[in-house]
Chain A
């Protein structure tokens, strides 16, 4: 089980690294576009590349953010209960998250398949939307794995430590 946790964490960290690269890329691309625009040589398609890259920044960062629980949640209420009851709450919330992200992932993949079938592309650079949307769907499933790992950690008494 420890090995499984390590592998999922490794995948999350790798995705997080790509999200970081994407964030820095947006800064460089947009700044270069602003500077070059002053010389009447703007970078064509910056708007749509930034939009696509924005999705990479957020969705690729999601699994590790969940791993370290950096999302806002309220714990003052469940902390009033015994460890056993807290575990019941935590298992329930992880299952609700699993259900939500499974639905997110499945439907985002379906959406990507629709875009691939209809051949929808961006306005300026004619870039296809679907590869990024597929990647977003995959990230939702990695998020499901992270939530599964949370369940394992709860059972092993390691969650929140």
Chain B
């Protein structure tokens, strides 16, 4: 049996094992070990297990993942989101749909310090939905927008998705962070337009809120400035080469902690909860990386990624059509497994294809991030919708009907990225020459 066939059987086995309810990282590690041992030797396979586990966990570079997760968890457990929302509300709450727009603005600002989609959705479900209820907003709009704004976490720095992509493909995390800013803000802007348009067609969806005075508005601004300052120091320090990504994560965590501490926002109990939840998430993500590393070594000896690249490149299709097909594979795979896990599984296979087709890896990361953004709010595995449902107790059908209009902007921005890749690439080229 040729190594290529063993590789294909291995990949099929991974997908089959996924269906049995085994932890996805464990399945990848197990098949990777068995395949590598079969092709090389049992001794080589056993050495690979130990080495990949140690390399992925006792690594300075990988500590960036728990640190940025920790930063987001502290921000979620403190009252930062509430104050950001309140500031946005003071400026925009008095227009139709204003509270939903304030949710978009507040969450976009919150994303600057929280890289997790689900954590943002959970935070704003607790902060913004009760306010929108108070003003008589339709549940479809209030829960739909809260589930959707969380997805920005995949694109706006410090995105855990982009960190993971950078780790797998050895791309600069700084460049990826910079590339995500403009598409992320563009998507947020489109959401604002969609809310305005939707409320114009059906004003009962989002009634006007109270108008604040300019004095109140200006008095609320320091809340945003603090978050802006932390973002600038963390991301700016990373861009300028002053920090490593691990240092940026540490400084950001320390700064968010100090801000919450000074504002008396973070109880001891909430702090312990933030630490504990960070550990669970970080452990889950790193075990996916360990599994992917072991499976990746197995696939490398089968030469499947290189063969896939050669085969796909010679297909009689335009390279953009191939790229659309690859995005659809990510979408489909993510729908049945988990978007982040599928990215970890599929990227080592498709990344050589992307390079061979001549696409910019940073641009590819943005397309994949938007694909994941769509994946976390559409069935069957819509983690953000599950989170919002658990907190608000609104039925799935209502939340989904509120989510779909906002998906238009994700598709539009993805299409714009195909036509104008500079939307993603110009900022990294400008700042990090």
Contacts and interface: CB of A to CB of B under 8 A. Distances in A.
A125 interface: no
B54 A133 contact: yes
B49 A93 contact: no
B287 interface: yes
Interface string A22-65: 01101111110110000000000001101111110111011011
Contacts of A90: 21
B167 interface: no
Contacts of A64: 279-280
Interface of A: 16, 19-20, 23-24, 26-31, 33-34, 47-48, 50-55, 57-59, 61-62, 64-66, 68, 70-78, 89-90, 92-93, 96-97, 99-100, 103-104, 107-108, 110-111, 129, 132-133, 136, 140
B23 interface: yes
B283 A58 contact: yes
Contacts of A89: 20-21
Contact of A136 (B19, B53, B250): B53
Given A23-B70, A50-B60, A54-B63, A16 B20 contact: no
B48 to A, nearest CB: 9
Interface stretch (B103-111, B141-149, B332-340): B332-340
B22 A70 contact: no
A58 B283 CA distance: 5
23 contacts: A20-B272, A20-B279, A26-B66, A30-B246, A30-B247, A31-B247, A51-B59, A54-B58, A57-B63, A58-B66, A74-B338, A89-B21, A96-B22, A99-B30, A100-B29, A104-B53, A107-B47, A107-B49, A108-B50, A110-B50, A129-B58, A136-B54, A140-B53
B33 interface: yes
Given A54-B66, A74-B338, 14 more contacts: A16-B279, A23-B67, A34-B243, A50-B63, A55-B57, A58-B287, A61-B282, A64-B280, A71-B26, A74-B24, A76-B381, A78-B21, A93-B22, A136-B54
B400 interface: no
B236 to A, nearest CB: 13
B283 A96 contact: no
B40 to A, nearest CB: 15
B233 to A, nearest CB: 10
A154 to B, nearest CB: 12
A34 B63 contact: no
Contacts of B19: 74, 77-78
Q: Which of B23, B29, B66, B257 has the most chain A CB within a 10 Å cutoff? A: B23
Nearest to B69: A23
Nearest to B24: A72
A55 B63 CA distance: 9
B161 interface: no
Given A89-B20, A103-B33, A70 B280 contact: yes
A95 B287 CA distance: 18
Closest 4 CB pairs of A and B: A30-B250, A55-B58, A107-B50, A93-B22
Nearest to B48: A107
